[in-house]
Amino acid sequence: MKTVSAVFAATIAASIAMPCSAFVLSGPKWPNNEVTIHYEPMLFPSTPGQPPYTMAVWNNAMSDAIDSWTQGANNLTIHKVADHAHPCAGIVGAGASVIAPEDGNRSGVAFLSTMCTESFGSGVLAINVSYSTGSHYTNSDIIFNAAVNWDIHSGPILGSSVYDFKRIAVHELGHLLGLGHETTQTAIMNPAYTDPERIAAGDLNMETPTPDDYQGINTLYGAGSEVPPLKVVLEEPHSHGATVGVGNVRGWAVAKSGIAEVEIYIDGVFWDNAPYGASRADVGAQYPTYPNANNSGFSMINNWSNYTEGPHTIVARAIDKLGNVASTSGLAMVDKFDVSYISSADLVKLSDNISSSGDTITLDNVSINGKSYRIVLKWSNATQQFDIANIINLF
């Protein structure tokens, strides 16, 4: 069976697939939980208004997009091959019935002027063409519209005239791996690129898979082997409130063979190895037969004010002493004041305009460094305190 997903300028992908709920699975998956992607694009586009990127730049961006899925997939092996595989191999005519491509079912990537033998529709940025037999994929390719003004950039999107290749590649790779569109949770598989509501929410800063995306992949391919047992949990930051200022990246990890290290990634980029060995009597009580479970905590400090507002994906990868790996992820919804660091309490002035409702406290007209804010606090059972849930710049 052949399926096609299209990426549009205003909406990321109109997928022809069979949806589930929450994260959305498109139906098939790769046999033996293993896929090989030939990631060097066929040809590459110009970049209007700036010097053209070299082939290596596009290759590296595609390679990084693949790596962003590898970091959070516990039971899926993704092989990268630095070689070409033409997405149109075996397609001999528009509407032709194709059982399998003629290049040995090599999954590849290309910038092309047409969708093989057909024209790109209005506003189409890229398509994903997949072939399956029964419940398993046999081949899946990604074609980027070479006529689009492509760029490679981090942070907020640059509007509707220049499109970031890497984050669209991450989205299309999600389809290639077996995910459909997610419309209820913050996810790289959300079906919008320039949607005004997502711009207002800051969601368009997303460049890598979110916990919802990883949950979908791990549901499709399984959570991973429990022999030998290895478990990692990320407790903070938590996505139910705002991540503001200086905060913890913390959790715990245990393994039957012992933990060798815990790696932390933020938005797909390795950040650091987390110090491991903090006291966790609660984990020790839950896993009494695991070595050092009483001292299984890890924690690091991060200044979230240095990050753009909006969602940022944190991945914790625990590696045991036998080399086995388990991953978990969390979402930091960064909100911030106009200054990255408040140097003195004298710069903060509260007004008498304070209200409460249930587990929420609202502080109006709070002056910080001469600017006024509305700050919403919400009780958190996880931290046992009122945490900042929202910061609104009043003027």
Residues 187-212 have a mean pLDDT of 69
> How far is Cα 91 from Cα 186, in angstroms, rounded to an integer?
36
pLDDT of residue 97: 43
Instruction: Report the run of H or E that residue 253 belongs to, with start and end.
Output: strand 246-255
Q: How confident is the model at residue 1 (pLDDT cuts 50, 70, 90)?
A: low
How does the average pLDDT of the chain come out, rounded? 80
pLDDT higher than 50, residue 36: yes
Place of tokens 């905060």: 247
C-alpha torsion angle, residues 155, 160, 166, 169 (rounded to 10)? 140
> How far is Cα 279 from Cα 33, in angstroms, rounded to an integer?
36
Residues 12-23 have a mean pLDDT of 35
pLDDT of residue 272: 94
Q: What angle do CA 295, 301, 302 make, to 5 degrees?
A: 145
Residue among 184, 250, 186, 176 nearest 217 (CA): 176
Q: How confident is the model at residue 240 (pLDDT cuts 50, 70, 90)?
A: low
Residue among 61, 22, 296 nearest 166 (CA): 61
pLDDT of residue 282: 92
Residues 347-375 have a mean pLDDT of 88
Contact between 328 and 232 (Cβ < 8 Å) = yes
Alpha helices in 102-194 (DSSP H): 165-177
pLDDT of residue 284: 92
Contact between 212 and 239 (Cβ < 8 Å) = no
Which is more confidently placed, 246 or 263?
A: 263
Q: How confident is the model at residue 8 (pLDDT cuts 50, 70, 90)?
A: low
Query: How much is the pTM?
Result: 0.68
Residues 297-306 have a mean pLDDT of 92
275-289 burial, b if ≥16 CB within 10 A, otherwise e? Answer: ebeeebeebbeebee
**How far apart, in Å, are the Cα atoms of 252 and each of 295, 327, 361?**
9, 12, 31
Q: How confident is the model at residue 37 (pLDDT cuts 50, 70, 90)?
A: very high
pLDDT of residue 368: 86
CATH of domain 2-221: 3.40.390.10
Residues 97-126 have a mean pLDDT of 76
Q: How confident is the model at residue 106 (pLDDT cuts 50, 70, 90)?
A: confident
As a whole-number percent, the residues of the chain with pLDDT over 90 amount to 24
Q: How confident is the model at residue 100 (pLDDT cuts 50, 70, 90)?
A: very low
Identity of the amino acid at 306: N
Could you tell me how far CA 274 lies from the centroid of its own chain? 21
pLDDT of 52-88, one tens digit each?
Answer: 678 888 888 999 999 999 888 888 889 888 888 888 8
Domain 230-334 has CATH 3.30.70.330: no
355-384 burial, b if ≥16 CB within 10 A, otherwise e? Answer: eeeeeebbbbebebeeeebebbbbebeeee
pLDDT of residue 225: 47
Sketch the domain layout of the chain as residue ranges: 2-221, 230-334, 345-393
Q: Helix, strand, or coil here: 65?
A: helix
Contact between 104 and 84 (Cβ < 8 Å) = no
pLDDT of 250-301, one tens digit each?
Answer: 999 999 889 999 999 998 889 999 999 999 999 999 888 899 999 999 999 9
pLDDT of residue 158: 73
DSSP 32: G
pLDDT higher than 70, residue 51: no
Q: How confident is the model at residue 241 (pLDDT cuts 50, 70, 90)?
A: low
Cis preceding-peptide flag for 237 (omega within 30 of 0) = yes
